Structure 1
């Protein structure tokens, strides 16, 4: 394949990663600042918000690791190594990172519920559930691709042995 055949997908990966980075650098520290002041004034809700912010920062790590594995997978495709064990391992890691994000947000749903009840914002719970759903869709998609790629590699190796 030509080197630039996956350029659009690589750009898309960077476009996906940029808003999350902006959220982590610009918006979440402001929310944390307000939550710390709430907690210092004796409001227990500040501690819930701080816990959720730590969770959001914690899920940014597997998110960016999954994006890195996606870039690796695209580089394997550029090098004509799409049907290799390295690609299967990259898909497996992407699947594991997506499942990790889902489980972290499932654990955080009670915190989202507490904040939504306090602020009378039921949409907050929906946002948490959308993140869980999107992560699970990515995990299932990566698992299906991993399985198909593994079978294609096995068929290719069998064909190479018979020739």
Structure 2
């Protein structure tokens, strides 16, 4: 691998980390950079490699969130398990799809997610929607399935939903 590519990847990683720390969405910068600068690698390999910094950023954000918010650990545990299973299924599907098919799909989806993320003026502000307790279980499972699958299949921007 050319040293220029490594330097560019590091620059994009720094920029993505900076943006992610301020407003989130660093993966929307780092993923296209990785796919463009590393065309010789399968899409699944590039996206899988970018999960390490994404996990780190999410872990730090979750730590800060947990300091401020009371969490229903039973529900969060169930959602985490559901999202993990769905993400595994998404990543398995990604590994089966050809690069030629996936690259254009990923770029279109990432542009859509970026537009959605940056157009949300109230994104990140506190909102409280009351969901009837009878529906909470079903909603939490469905949301975890969808977001988990998306995160495993494509990844960046999953926190926008």
TM-score by length of 2: 0.29
Higher helix share: 1
Could you say which structure has the larger radius of gyration? 1
Structure with the bigger RCO (C-alpha within 8 Å, sep 6+) is 2
TM-score by length of 1: 0.29
